[in-house]
Amino acid sequence: MTKMLKNYAADAWGAASGGLQPVRSAVNGEVVAQTGSQGLDFKGMLEHARGVGGPALRAMTFHARARMIKALAEVIMARKEELYALSASTGATRTDGWIDIEGGAGTLFTMSSKGRRELPDDVVLVDGELEPIGKRGTFVGQHVYTSLQGVAVHINAFNFPVWGMLEKLGPTLLAGVPAIVKPASATGYVTEAAFRILIEAGVLPPGALQLIVGQVGDLLDHLTCQDVVSFTGSAETALKLQSHPAIGREGVRFIAERDSLNATLLAPDAGPGTPEFDLFVREVASEMTIKAGQKCTAIRRALVPAAHIQAAEDAIKARLAKVVVGDPAIEGVTMGALASLGQLKDVREKARQLSADARLVFGDIDHVDARMGEGGEGAFISPLLFRADTPWTSERVHDVEAFGPVSTLMPYRDLDDAIALANRGKGSLVLSAFTYDPATARRLILGAAAFHGRIVLIDRDCARESTGHGSPLPMLVHGGPGRAGGGEEMGGVRGVKHYMQRSALQGSPRTLSAIVNRWLPGAPQPIGEAHPFRQRFGELDVGYTLKTPARTVTLEDIEHFAAFTGDTFYAHMDEEAAAANPFFPGRVAHGYLILSFAAGLFVDPAPGPVLANYGLDALRFLKPLSPGEAIRVELTVKDKTARNPEYGEVRWAVKVLSAADETVATYDLLTMNAL
Ligand code: NAP
């Protein structure tokens, strides 16, 4: 049945006013959808996002946005079968669909949990520590991130219609920025269905998301400095969009994820008979066939020591011989179709270009024995393995991306030669290496990391848990230099920052502290009647401080502590040896004794809102404490993060001072406090 795709503009669904384009099934060529965006008010969509969606999202804290993203992931999972059903027409097997659909939801789940664990329950993100500027500490610097006030325009490739949308939406929404999604036309019907599920979840504020199923009209003409274009697709389209006058003129952020001649490397230590050799063979074959090789991260070049190239070729061919190409709906099929007949034509053409520089050792460019259902024409192709025996004189194998099940095997002389060949792709998304020798791995990283966005080192110890060469992960950056586009996506909270502006704030600690909602050194430290441990989470103000009385640390205390804990290190026990040490004037108190006495000074013992001490951060012992010296403590509420409806985390700045007001120790104490 043909589906009439709709655009979603200004919180309403609407079909194009004309100019519809048919989209065909990859499996049998039947028209599955009509797509188009004629008649859309593109400028109005941008204005709606900026005027309605942006303010609503920015009014939510990172934690509220993270909870919303989790709800979106849940609804995709709850309705995943609807998406699997559509995904089959794109030529995807169930496994391919799993990567796209459940992988997409998983990416949102990860972003949500990172947002709640690593970002504040606030709208301003502090970047790094306070920078002291003035000598007296009254003028300081602090970097912060705030949300961009524009729109994220996401232009996606056809290969992962669900994941491609969700991996960009997670960081964008977490940053508090509305998005306009424009999927690739060939598989946009799957994206449209997933997008509809997101809207029907009812958790997004108005204006947060809009969808264009067709051309982008004059959208780019109206972009401003607060907007971001995040593009995934071919280098050719990226160049066209990047040179759009408005993008240059307005300084619009442009993130490009382009094609990439990714390489894998069988290291010199990993010859036939080693586990790494078998792992390499398996990885090359599966990277060629998952998603019929239509992955920007797929292995396009496999580098093998010259002595082992025949063994590698034979082993990979043996695996490829087991691949069953055909309609993914048919039992036993292990590799589906390319996304369209257009793609099939393109891949064949690129494979012919490769054959001018390399020998085809497996497969047939023009014929495949595909298992098919009734009638029609599907975009099927066999896996194609090439071999280039003179890789330094074969230009195309390092330059032509056939976006299908196509890889080229090539020999190298030594590790330096392999590194130089890997880097000849002029910048890639991912490089993998199969080695059990850490020294080889380090040499590889030093020689190649600058050219590759992600490097996977696979050996017998990690293979079982390895996520493989081709899987970008939400907590790691995805993107690469040069040919790969120079962009970076995901990487946990790093990806969120692509949709925020970093500003360097300068001012007094009091002002900056109020802006970031965190006590900064030099900001006021009000002291009240109530002990801070008697105040509930909601009652504690940032900056609220307890100053304790002093306590003298005696030699007897030190000896008692040493005997009690067993820590009889000479610096605490032996006057002469301690004095000979460059750090100590003689015997000194244990650092842990100072911490324990500090707790004894600031703790309020009776049951109350403080539920648990769960750790210390950034502990430093700054001045040794001699027997007979006194210490006192300043305990200040540094910041607070609600964790759940019952309790929240309080971060306390603790300063231990000597009688002469020298800082003996500083640290952050973390407690869980009842709301
Ligand atoms: P493409 O032809 O460049 O299309 C990418 C997107 O750009 C599609 O949504 C397309 O829409 C849109 N587009 C094309 N011309 C446009 C224009 N003038 N203005 C605005 N939008 C325009 O790439 P593709 O064929 O879909 O994807 C395959 C390529 O993407 C491969 O080379 C692959 O390596 C690369 N890729 C890279 C990554 C990565 O993360 N680095 C991931 C996946 C794919 P229409 O479909 O409507 O034309």
Query: Per residue in 512-542, pLDDT tens?
Result: 999 999 999 999 999 999 999 999 999 999 9
Query: Per residue in 31-62, pLDDT tens?
Result: 999 999 999 999 999 999 999 999 999 999 99
Which DSSP string do the residues of 55-104 spell out, in sequence order? Answer: HHHHTS-HHHHHHHHHHHHHHHHHTHHHHHHHHGGGT--HHHHHHHHHHH
Atom of ligand 1 nearest to the CA of 256: 41
Q: What is the pTM of this model?
A: 0.91
Mean pLDDT value of segment 162-178:
98
Phi/psi-derived region of residue 143, left when phi > 0, alpha when psi is between -120 and 50, beta in every other case: beta
Residue nearest atom 11 of ligand 1, based on CA coordinates: 184
Predicted confidence (pLDDT) at residue 75 exceeds the cutoff of 70: yes
pLDDT at 373: 72
pLDDT at 371: 84
pLDDT at 100: 95
Q: Where along the chain do the CATH 3.40.605.10 domains lie?
A: 3-125+147-258
Q: How many A from CA of 32 to the centre of ligand 1?
A: 20
% residues pLDDT > 90 (the chain): 92
pLDDT at 188: 96
pLDDT averaged over every residue in the chain: 95
pLDDT at 370: 83
Residue 129 parent element (H or E)? strand 125-132
Q: Which of 102, 167, 192, 257 is catalytic?
A: 257
Predicted confidence (pLDDT) at residue 217 exceeds the cutoff of 70: yes
Predicted confidence (pLDDT) at residue 376 exceeds the cutoff of 90: no
Q: How many A from CA of 231 to the centre of ligand 1?
A: 8
The model's confidence at residue 369, banded by pLDDT at 50, 70 and 90, is: confident
Residue reference for tokens 């004095």: 579
The architecture CATH gives domain 3-125+147-258: 3-Layer(aba) Sandwich (3.40)
For 127, residues 6+ apart whose C-beta sits below 8 A from its C-beta are 143, 144, 145, 502
Q: Where along the chain do the CATH 3.10.129.10 domains lie?
A: 525-674
In a mutational test of the pocket of ligand 1, which residue from 159, 237, 296 has the highest number of ligand atoms less than 8 Å from its CB? 237
Query: Per residue in 229-247, pLDDT tens?
Result: 999 999 899 999 999 999 9
Q: How many A from CA of 474 to the centre of ligand 1?
A: 21
Query: Per residue in 254-295, pLDDT tens?
Result: 999 998 999 999 999 999 999 999 999 999 999 999 999 999
Q: How many A from CA of 487 to the centre of ligand 1?
A: 15
Q: What is the dihedral of CA 578, 581, 584, 590, to 10 degrees?
A: -60
Burial of 301 (0-12, 13-18, 19+ CB in 10 A): buried
In a mutational test of the pocket of ligand 1, which residue from 232, 261, 429 has the highest number of ligand atoms less than 8 Å from its CB? 232
Q: How many A from CA of 402 to the centre of ligand 1?
A: 14
Predicted confidence (pLDDT) at residue 355 exceeds the cutoff of 70: yes
Atom of ligand 1 nearest to the CA of 478: 40
- For the domain covering 525-674, report its CATH number: 3.10.129.10
Residue 48 parent element (H or E)? helix 42-48
- For the domain covering 263-466, report its CATH number: 3.40.309.10
Task: Give the 3-state secondary structure of 106-124.
Answer: HHHHHHHHHHHHHCCCCCC
In a mutational test of the pocket of ligand 1, which residue from 38, 153, 159 has the highest number of ligand atoms less than 8 Å from its CB? 159
Nearest CA among 17, 9, 5, 19 for reference residue 43: 9
Mean pLDDT value of segment 325-337:
90
The answer to whether residue 296 is catalytic is yes
The model's confidence at residue 642, banded by pLDDT at 50, 70 and 90, is: confident
Asked if 233 and 255 count as a contact pair (C-beta separation under 8 A), the reply is: no
Q: Find the range with the poorest average confidence among 367-376, 394-403, 416-425.
A: 367-376
Q: Where along the chain do the CATH 3.40.309.10 domains lie?
A: 263-466
Q: How many A from CA of 158 to the centre of ligand 1?
A: 7
Q: Which of 296, 401, 488, 629 is catalytic?
A: 296
Residue nearest atom 8 of ligand 1, based on CA coordinates: 184
Q: In the structure, which protein residues have their CB atom closer than 6 angstroms to any atom of ligand 1?
A: 155-159, 182-186, 216, 232-234, 237, 240-241, 257-259, 296, 401, 403, 429, 484-485
Measured CA to CA in angstroms, residue 102 lies from 97, 143, 166, 211, 475 at distances of 8, 36, 10, 21, 16
Q: Classify residue 372 by its DSSP letter.
A: -
Angle at 190 (CA atoms; ends 184, 192), nearest 5 degrees: 80
Neighbours of 368 (CB within 10 A): 17
Predicted confidence (pLDDT) at residue 375 exceeds the cutoff of 80: no
